[in-house]
Structure 1
Amino acid sequence: MSGTRPVAELDAVIEQTLREGELVHEHPTPGRWLVDLPGTNKLKTVCGLIVGEHALRVEAFVCRQPDENREQLWTFLLQRNARMYAVAYSIDSVGDVYLTGRLPHAAVTPEELDRVLGAVLSYADDHFNTMLEIGFGTSIRREWEWRVKRGESLRNLEAFAAFADPTRRPGPGAPPDGGA
């Protein structure tokens, strides 16, 4: 037995799961799905589900290539891969960060799809601010300073205040925990 299932059968399982989960999605062609996963730190992660000959491919863009500290970011991501379920961090040829994985056709059930989509959302969202701090910290600090000087809103940068706001950063030689 080959373990492969027809695209129409897998599409029916995917459609049922997304409908029951009330997830916004597109189905541009048979065997191809785009699912919007709403987050907290990363407001939306678009996850692609692509039915292949033997497996369902799962792909989600996490962030663009870092401006700085590439090796530190890659280390951070690789250290998490060993503890992740169904997907892993990967990079494309230009260094953009993705979550990717494969599910054998036999494993494509509503329960397993829900688990995998939950994992994608968690991994894309939970460490998003840390990834941005590592890979884009200088740009974020520069943007913070520019907005302060101009009196612009800092609302969408508040998640980075602990490292971007010089009034909240410990001075040189200060203990990282503020001396507590």
Structure 2
Amino acid sequence: MDTGELAGLIGAVLRDLGVDHHQREPGQFLVTLPGTHRLSTQCWLVAREHTLFVQAFVCRQPDENHEGVYRFLLQRNARLYGVHYALDRIGDIHLIGRVSLHAVGAAELDRILGQVLEAADGDFNTLLELGFAESIRREYAWRSERGESLANLRAFEHLVD
């Protein structure tokens, strides 16, 4: 399957799945996956000569507890399908994967995108707790002192009590 055929297949599958996406260049799709713990996860699907490359930003480099965050990521990698956690050159956390072109189809794309969403959205609060606890405490205190909304910090109240 050449890149053009693959791009057509991917576009058709994404439409059938009802996934929000746009094609940036031939064979490059930016998919927006809606979340629960985070509003959305942006995921790139890029057709290459031999593989479909998958990449999603999860969160920025942790402010603290690097060892705890990296331990969590490595242990989590053992349970992920088709993608794994990786760090970019500045330390931000991404999910990365490669799928053989012969395996690309509706079921496999659904599985991969489901895994990206489950990991990025499901692990998000844990990563924030592990790597940004002090920042969360400061933000909570700042908002409390000023009477600002704490709605999006409710999941982290146990860090300040």
Question: Into which bin does the TM-score normalised by the smaller protein fall?
Answer: over 0.9
Higher helix share: 2
The corresponding residue for 1:73 is 69
Residue identity (%): 53
CA distance in 1, matches of 2:144, 2:84: 38
The corresponding residue for 1:97 is 93
| Residue aligned with 2:130, SS | helix
Write out aligned runs for 1:1-180 (5 A): 5-164=1-160, 166=161
Runs of 4+ in 1 over 4 A off after TM superposition: none
5+ unaligned residues in a row in structure 1: which ranges? 167-180
What is the count of residue pairs matched by the alignment?
161
Shift of 1:50: 0.6
| Residue aligned with 1:85, SS | coil
- 1:61-100 deviation line (CA, Å, top 9, x unaligned): 0000001011110000100101110000000111100000
User: Considering only aligned residues, what root-mean-square deviation do their CA atoms show, in Å?
Assistant: 0.7
The corresponding residue for 1:178 is none
CA distance in 2, matches of 1:9, 1:107: 14
CA distance in 2, matches of 1:99, 1:42: 15
Shift of 1:115: 0.6
Give TM-score, length-normalised by structure 2: 0.98
CA distance in 2, matches of 1:151, 1:84: 41
CA distance in 1, matches of 2:158, 2:13: 39
